[in-house]
Amino acid sequence: MPELPEVETTKRQLEKKIVGQKIEKIKILSAKQFIGNPKTIENLVIKGISRRAKIIIIQLTKGPMLLIHLKMTGQLVYADKTKNDKAVFGHPIPFAGGKTLPGKATGIIIRLSRGQIFFNDLRKFGWMKITQNSDQETKHLGPEPLSKQFTLTYLKEILSKSKRPIKAFLLDQNKIAGIGNIYASEILFLSGIDPRTPANKVKDAKKLHQSIKKILLKAIKYQGSSAADEAYIKPDGTPGKYQNHFLVYQQEGQPCKKCKTKIKRIKINQRSSYFCSRCQK
């Protein structure tokens, strides 16, 4: 699930907690989700944490990095060490909202000097990967939409080269990195663009460019979206709040916030797309 705003929120919260801590032990419960030999990064110290598109990058002393992709249902939850879990690593500990960790979806546990990170992922699409060089995973990605590299000129240029529906186009990580299914719909509503419009037929690229930045910044401000089933929660175990501000996503049948027309849901490339047929042309 997590898209740029959720991954950015996760990165910011984790940063405050884990930088400077030593990785003591990695426990893998879901083998296919961990790529590399965990022993090679045990006893290394976390130097920093960053984000590229939807990938979290944890930098370690001596060079290696731990890359993490949450895919649809991944969560990274952090718990400080308490008297309860001091003795037994991986032993269930009480957590926010009456939950216990590890839970059924916990696939990987990283024990740090002063706490633990739980990687939970119901659908098991997410992964962690040890690498010396993140180029392989990031070189194909387009610019970060909130960076200076993402200019109006660039957007116009890539739009002109594609006939794909603009909704599918926005999900293409090679063009712009970090937008996912929630925010693609939100962005197009704010832009007043029908999601089926071929990319090269988009008239107001400037409006689209502004809307991409606006929506992503607003979603970061609200710490991401925890839609329906809490597939996404923040490292502190609590949900984000952008779902309380959805313009069209998951609003099928609800009145459009601008004109009261019922919001429609259609499939574009197998993915639900929400829009107002009156406001978006």
The footprint of DNA (CB under 7 A) covers 1-3, 6, 32, 53-54, 69, 71-72, 104, 122-125, 140, 162-164, 171, 173, 180-182, 225-232, 265, 269-272
The full length of the chain comes to: 281
Q: What angle do CA 132, 135, 136 make, to 5 degrees?
A: 90
Going by DSSP bridges, is the β-strand pair 115-121/106-112 parallel, antiparallel, or unpaired?
antiparallel
Q: What is the dihedral of CA 195, 197, 198, 201, to 10 degrees?
A: -130
Q: Which residue has the tokens 């001596």?
A: 62
CB 182 within 8 Å of CB 220: no
Q: Which residue has the tokens 């992922």?
A: 121
Token representation of residue 156? 């116009």
Q: Whose Cβ is closer to DNA: residue 116's or residue 225's?
A: 225
CA atoms within 13 Å, Cβ hemisphere of 65? 18
Mapping DSSP to helix (H, G, I), strand (E, B) and coil, where does residue 79 land?
A: strand
Report in angstroms how near the CB of residue 161 gets to DNA at its nearest.
10
Catalytic residues: 2-3, 54, 271
* Sign of torsion over alpha carbons 19, 25, 28, 31: positive
